């Protein structure tokens, strides 16, 4: 049994380097799997999502950034099936986080807007997330922080270009996966 077989995720094991040698894609693949796991660990063990869950936070951030939108536009912006986005919006409406009004030109279409309470909770969650991130990365240089921000942004743009904006892919059902 190797150290890797029983080392906890928080240990000093360099997960990205284990068994990858000079294979950067292998290291990225492993690091991304651990990153997803670490995001889940942060969600469970921190107070970041006390008022909102991740899906609610992302939907509110999206509405805040792009303005009021119909379900199809909102779903496309975050890569969800419209029926999944509609269910999430219905739950959020029940919590008073968003409101729906009929569209001006098509009353069958609902326009979704964040409420003042929803924006307040989103801003509180954003502050907690930012503080948690600042604490985790406290020893990093400004250059390292800038590099990480740029790399995350580039990765997210590549995913969006491939799966959200490209006409070359077939949409996959998201099976209720929450962002």
**Is residue 7 in a domain?**
no
- CB atoms under 10 Å from CB of 169, counted, come to 10
82 and 134 housed in the same domain: yes
- Is the pTM here over 0.95, yes or no? no
Query: What are the tens digits of pLDDT across the range 48-95?
Result: 777 888 899 999 999 999 999 999 999 999 888 999 999 999 999 999
**Is residue 83 in a domain?**
yes
21 and 77 housed in the same domain: no
Single out the residue of 87, 84, 93, 91 nearest to residue 112, CA to CA: 93
**Is residue 120 in a domain?**
yes
22 and 57 housed in the same domain: no
Query: Which three-class secondary structure state does DSSP give residue 131?
Result: helix
Confidence class for position 8, pLDDT limits 50, 70, 90: low
**Is residue 173 in a domain?**
no
**Is residue 138 in a domain?**
yes
72 and 145 housed in the same domain: yes
| pLDDT mean across residues, the chain | 83
Token pair of 43 as six digits? 């969600």
**Is residue 86 in a domain?**
yes
- CB atoms under 10 Å from CB of 97, counted, come to 23
99 and 127 housed in the same domain: yes
Q: Please name the helix (run of DSSP H) or strand (run of DSSP E) that holds residue 70, with its range, or none.
A: strand 69-70
Single out the residue of 77, 122, 81, 90 nearest to residue 100, CA to CA: 90
The tally of domains found in the chain comes to 2
Confidence class for position 176, pLDDT limits 50, 70, 90: very low
- Structural domain boundaries, residue 77: 51-165
41 and 57 housed in the same domain: no
Query: What are the tens digits of pLDDT across the range 102-123?
Result: 888 887 889 999 999 999 999 9
pLDDT higher than 80, residue 173: no
86 and 105 housed in the same domain: yes
End-to-end CA distance of the chain: 36
d(CA 152, CA 130) in angstroms, rounded, equals: 15
């Amino acid at each position: 049994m190797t150290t890797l077989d029983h080392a906890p995720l928080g240990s000093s094991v360099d997960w990205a380097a284990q068994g990858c040698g000079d294979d950067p894609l292998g290291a990225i693949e492993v690091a991304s799997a651990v990153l997803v796991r670490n995001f889940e660990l942060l969600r469970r063990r921190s107070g970041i999502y006390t008022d909102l869950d991740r899906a609610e936070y992302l939907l509110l951030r999206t509405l805040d950034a792009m303005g009021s939108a119909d379900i199809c536009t909102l779903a496309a912006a975050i890569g969800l099936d419209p029926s999944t986005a509609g269910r999430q919006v219905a739950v959020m409406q029940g919590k008073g986080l968003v409101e729906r009004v009929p569209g001006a030109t098509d009353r069958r279409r609902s326009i979704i807007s964040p409420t003042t309470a929803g924006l307040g909770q989103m801003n509180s969650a954003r502050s907690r997330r930012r503080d948690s991130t600042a604490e985790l990365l406290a020893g990093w240089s400004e250059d390292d922080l800038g590099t990480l921000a740029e790399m995350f942004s580039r990765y997210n743009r590549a995913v969006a270009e491939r799966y959200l904006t490209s006409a070359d892919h077939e949409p996959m059902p998201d099976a209720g996966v929450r962002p």
